[in-house]
Amino acid sequence: MYMNIFLMSFLIFSTLITISSNSWFGMWIGLEINLMSFIPIMNSNNNMYSSESSMKYFFVQALSSMILFFSLIYFYLSKSKTLIMFNIIMMMKMGSAPFHFWFIEIMNKLNWYNSFMLMSWQKLTPMIIINYSMNFYLIMFIICLNMLISLIKINQNSIQKIFSYSSINNMGWMMSLMLINKNLWMMFISIYSTILFNLIYLLNMYKIFMMNHLFMKMNFNLFNLFLFSNFISMMSIPPFIGFLTKWMTIQNLIFNNYYLITITMMMMTSIMSYMYIKMILNSFLLNSLKNNFYKMIIIPKSFHFNNFFNLISMILSPYFFMLT
């Protein structure tokens, strides 16, 4: 426990080094400290899959860091002002399309909390670096590619893989916000991470990793209610607060005349919602048939408070709309 706290403090420290550095070399140092802090966290489970995942993660991150280091040398020697290579390296580091294959493979073999770190905190630093060296046309291409790649998850049965493809889809939304409004980008990633944590807390509590686990392991209606509210919020359907993020993104994209990318993201996200609807059917509707055989269900005490954020979001989200 104390070791994990120590490693997490180093992980936060490395992110602060990277985002506050005024040189590319300082950013590179921060990224390396981040890598050395996250690898032991991935290995904390002491199983075969975590060791395999940490090795794959180390290989990808070390390779991208090596390319970044030599790119920095070339950048200073040639006095080049082209920063497109830095964008590509950061895409590779955070598992964005077309460098997403390692991300999907590793996600499927991690525990839920490590998966949460990989989908949220570990994407923060690369996105901030991309903001420093943004190439407009490359970012627009990557946004469209992220939207298309996320459709692969339609036939997935692994919930972790579904979440990983959903993370790739949301990366497209986040990068589009970086083009127009940095404050909204921070709000988007904060709300997304909170909703994601609520879902992962529930799924980790009952060791749910596959679609059929939703039907086999759950047998009380309160779980279905909270899971339903989280999935609806992740699908960005009003009145949940997840709708606020997509609504404000679309509003700002249209205001800046990005009509084509807005239509593309809306279409791809609508198709992607099919998988969340499928999970809702498995957990909410099918379990209602199973619950007919149960007369009395014992609900864990810790369960009553873990989704307080989603309960108040239905009340607070209309006021966010009024403020905007």
148 occurs within a structural domain: yes
Pair of tokens at residue 150: 């996320």
Considering the domain architecture, whether residues 72 and 114 belong to the same structural domain is answered as no
* 313: pLDDT strictly greater than 80: no
Domain carrying residue 7: 1-81
Question: pLDDT value at position 72?
Answer: 85
Tell whether 77 and 218 lie within a shared domain: no
Q: Is residue 86 part of a domain?
A: no
Check pLDDT > 50 for residue 114. yes
Contacts of 264 (CB under 8 A, 6+ apart): 144, 147
Per-position b or e across 175-186, b if 16+ CB within 10 A of its CB: bbbbbebeebbe
- Angle at which helices 242-255 and 308-323 pack, to 10 degrees? 30
pLDDT at position 217 over 80? no
Same domain, 122 and 65: no
Amino acid type, 122: Q
In a domain, 89, yes or no: no
Q: What DSSP letter does each residue of 247-310 carry, written as one string?
A: HHHHHHHHHTT-HHHHHHHHHHHHHHHHHHHHHHIIIIIHHHHHGGG-S-----GGGGTTTHHH
Q: Which residue has the higher pLDDT, 290 or 78?
A: 78
Using the predicted structure, report yes or no on whether residue 29 has a pLDDT greater than 70. yes
| Alpha-helical regions (H) of the chain | 2-20, 24-42, 48-78, 84-94, 101-107, 112-119, 121-132, 136-149, 159-180, 182-205, 211-217, 221-234, 242-255, 259-280, 286-290, 308-323
For residue 183, pLDDT over 70 is answered with: yes
Q: Residue 64 pLDDT > 90, yes or no?
A: yes
pLDDT digits (tens, 9 = 90+) for 222-276: 666 777 788 888 888 877 888 888 888 999 989 988 888 888 888 878 777 777 7
User: Which tens digit of pLDDT belongs to each residue from 300-310?
Assistant: 444 444 445 55
Domain shared by 137 and 275, yes or no: yes
Q: In this structure, is the dihedral angle defined by the CA atoms of residues 166, 171, 174 and 179, taken in order, positive or negative?
A: negative
d(Cα 182, Cα 128) in Å, to the nearest integer? Answer: 10
Q: Are residues 257 and 155 in the same domain?
A: yes
More confident residue, 1 or 260: 260
Domain count along the chain = 2
List, in sequence order, every residue forming a beta bridge with 158; answer none if it has no partner.
210
Q: pLDDT grade, residue 1 (50/70/90)? A: low
Q: Express as a percent the part of the chain with pLDDT over 90.
A: 15
Q: How far is CA 77 from the centre of its chain?
A: 36
Is 191 within the bounds of a domain? Answer: yes
Residue 293 has pLDDT above 50, yes or no: no
Domain membership of residue 105 (yes or no) is no
Six token digits for residue 170: 């949301």
Query: Does residue 304 lie within any of the structural domains?
Result: yes
295 pLDDT above the threshold of 50: no
Mark whether 77 and 115 lie in a shared domain: no
266 with 305, same domain: the answer is: yes
DSSP 22: S
Residues 171 and 115 in one domain: yes
175, 319: one domain: yes
For residues 170 and 38, state if they share a domain.
Answer: no
Same domain flag for 179 and 305: yes
Q: Are residues 25 and 162 in the same domain?
A: no
Best CA proximity match to 129, nearest among 203, 38, 65: 65
What average pLDDT does the chain have? 79
Over residues 123-168, the pLDDT tens digits come to: 999 998 888 877 778 878 888 787 777 666 666 778 888 888 888 8
Q: Is 175 inside any structural domain? A: yes
Q: Residue 249: inside a domain, yes or no?
A: yes
